[in-house]
């Protein structure tokens, strides 16, 4: 298992060092600094084996996080753990920076003591941890409260404590999708997928059981089959024939989905229903991925012409491809240009365009853009004659935000049941929001 965890600043100075196992020597800290942080050639792999010791590392801003092990341990788990640890630290003190780490080192040690025991990851749920690792000193707690804490740490429902009360039972659902696209120069879609997340903020009392319904093809089909079967018996068959046609249209095929640990996976497997007892506050309920029938909100059409050795002409057309009533926001198009650019003449119909010499790119920003519109930018680029290095054209990338889910994902229902406190499903106030964002949205130029 994990033998130790180290945190370094960008210079390679140790900020935190916690060793769990005897087989990790004191020189392990230095070995990593010398061989990875200070190495002349940047290491190309996230796992390095130095003198039969494996170092797993990741970097956040300029802080190095490193886990060490001598055994053949579960590598996926180590990285998952490092990420989890970053999440926990962030939720305690915000951004991971040298200053924050230094100021909170006692807290970090305390956390490390709690979430790793002898190198075995233990309960790392932020909500639960916050219930008993505080930096306010110890308040005198009653015995009951203590057992609540411990049962929360170890209990079946480790992510929620008992006795939560809200005056208003409210929940917020955010469906956040990022659209990933790789398009060839000729406008051919090379690959596309939507990575979606359902983020829930729950402010519910007691131990509510929730049931979540989406327009997933399998569940919808199951349902329509059942309903058509029953309707067929009563009404005329013509109705039944049109019915499924309309429902399947709105259903989407989800390639794969993953759930927060609170979701009962076995139930999902057997009945395809998503039921869970939510943690308090914000959490990511579900992640999913779709690849079929994605409506791409924008299309970029590049036209690059090299005129001689010192001149280049770039023309970029952006088309929005969604309902005219909707409005896309935060649109940013990044057009890479050669590093030996010396002057850029820009002309755009809408928004603002700038040449960012430091990034070797033209950045074209539009605050908003309606559906079914088109806009254009043309640029003349002058180059200094320098052909030492061939310029390979990086793809044009794009950022945006649209108020719908490009995959067609729809929340059908979210029901809340609380048996003890007896507030009904209809009393809960529910909010749903769809956000479509750009992931890696690239067009090769």
Check the annotation: does 70 bind a ligand.
Answer: no
Q: Which two tokens mark 366?
A: 């539009």
Whose Cβ is closer to another protein: residue 158's or residue 206's? 158
Shortest Å distance, C-beta 168 to another protein? 29
DSSP for 373-437, please give it: -EEEEEEEEEE-S--SSPPP-PPEEEEEEESS-TT---EEEEEEE-TTT---GGGSEEEEEEEEE
Determine whether the annotation assigns residue 365 to a binding site. Answer: yes
413, burial (CB in 10 Å: exposed 0-12, middle 13-18, buried 19+): exposed
Is 319 annotated as contributing to ligand binding?
A: no
Nearer to another protein, 142 or 236 (CB): 142
Residue 323 beta carbon to another protein: minimum distance, rounded to whole angstroms: 28
Residue carrying structure tokens 């003890």: 420
Query: At its nearest, how many Å lie between another protein and the CB of residue 150?
Result: 4
Cα–Cα distance between 273 and 270 in angstroms, integer? Answer: 8
Q: Closer CB to another protein, residue 164 or residue 440? A: 440
Nearest CA to 383 among 344, 334, 348, 346? 344
Q: How far apart are CA 433 and CA 402, in angstroms?
A: 11
CB of 122 to another protein, least distance (A): 7
Helix 217-234, helix 237-250: angle, nearest 10: 170
- Least distance to another protein, CB of residue 124, Å: 7
Which residue's CB is nearer to another protein, number 2 or number 210? 2
Which of 362, 369 has the CB closer to another protein?
362
**264 marked among binding-site residues:** no
Query: Rounded to the nearest whole angstrom, what is the least distance from the CB of residue 49 to another protein in the complex?
Result: 6
Question: What length is written for the chain?
Answer: 445
- Minimum distance from residue 7 beta carbon to another protein (Å): 9
Sign of CA dihedral 419, 421, 424, 429: negative
Euclidean distance between CA atoms 328 and 330, whole angstroms: 7
Residue placing its CB nearer to another protein in the complex, 190 or 307: 190
**Sign of the CA dihedral running 237, 241, 243, 248:** positive
CA 400, CA 441: separation in Å to the nearest integer? 9
Spatial contact of 284 and 257, defined as CB atoms under 8 Å apart: no
Nearer to another protein, 54 or 224 (CB): 54
State the binding site.
352, 354, 356, 365, 367
């Amino acid at each position: 298992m994990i033998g130790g965890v180290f945190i370094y600043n960008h210079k390679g100075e140790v900020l935190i060092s916690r060793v769990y196992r005897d087989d990790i020597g004191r020189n392990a800290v230095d070995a990593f600094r010398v061989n990875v942080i200070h190495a002349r050639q940047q290491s190309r792999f996230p796992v390095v084996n130095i003198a039969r010791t494996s170092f797993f590392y990741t970097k956040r801003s300029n802080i190095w996080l490193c886990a060490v092990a001598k055994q053949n341990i579960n590598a996926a788990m180590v990285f998952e753990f490092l990420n989890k640890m970053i999440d926990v630290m962030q939720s305690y003190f915000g951004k991971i920076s040298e200053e924050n780490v230094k100021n909170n080192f006692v807290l970090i040690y305390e956390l490390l003591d709690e979430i790793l025991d002898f190198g075995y990851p233990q309960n790392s749920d932020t909500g639960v941890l916050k219930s008993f690792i505080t930096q306010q000193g110890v308040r005198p707690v009653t015995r009951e409260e203590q057992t609540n804490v411990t049962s929360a740490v170890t209990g079946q429902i480790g992510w929620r404590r008992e006795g939560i009360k809200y005056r208003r039972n409210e929940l917020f659902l955010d469906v956040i999708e990022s659209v990933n696209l790789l398009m060839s120069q000729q406008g051919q879609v090379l690959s596309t997928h939507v990575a979606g997340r359902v983020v829930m903020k729950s402010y519910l009392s007691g131990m509510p059981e929730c049931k979540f319904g989406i327009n997933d093809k399998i569940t919808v089909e199951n349902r329509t089959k059942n309903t058509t079967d029953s309707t067929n018996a009563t009404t005329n068959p013509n109705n039944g024939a049109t019915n499924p046609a309309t429902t399947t249209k709105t259903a989407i095929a989800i390639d794969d989905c993953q759930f927060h640990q609170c979701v009962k996976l076995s139930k999902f497997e057997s009945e395809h229903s998503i039921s869970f007892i939510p943690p308090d506050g914000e959490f990511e309920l579900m992640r999913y991925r779709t690849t079929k029938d994605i409506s791409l909100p924008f299309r970029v059409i590049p036209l690059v012409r090299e005129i001689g050795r010192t001149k280049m002409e770039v023309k970029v057309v952006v088309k929005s491809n969604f309902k005219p009533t909707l409005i896309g926001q935060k649109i940013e198009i990044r057009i890479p240009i050669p590093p030996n650019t010396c002057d850029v003449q820009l002309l755009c119909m809408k928004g603002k365009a700038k040449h960012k010499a430091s990034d070797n790119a033209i950045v074209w920003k539009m605050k908003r853009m309606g559906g079914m519109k088109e806009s254009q930018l043309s640029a003349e680029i002058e180059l200094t004659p320098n052909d030492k290095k061939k310029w390979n054209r990086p793809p044009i990338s794009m950022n945006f935000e649209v108020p719908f889910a490009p995959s067609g994902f729809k929340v059908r229902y979210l029901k809340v049941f609380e048996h003890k406190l007896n507030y009904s499903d209809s009393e809960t106030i529910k909010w749903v929001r769809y956000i479509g964002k750009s992931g890696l949205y690239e067009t090769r130029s």
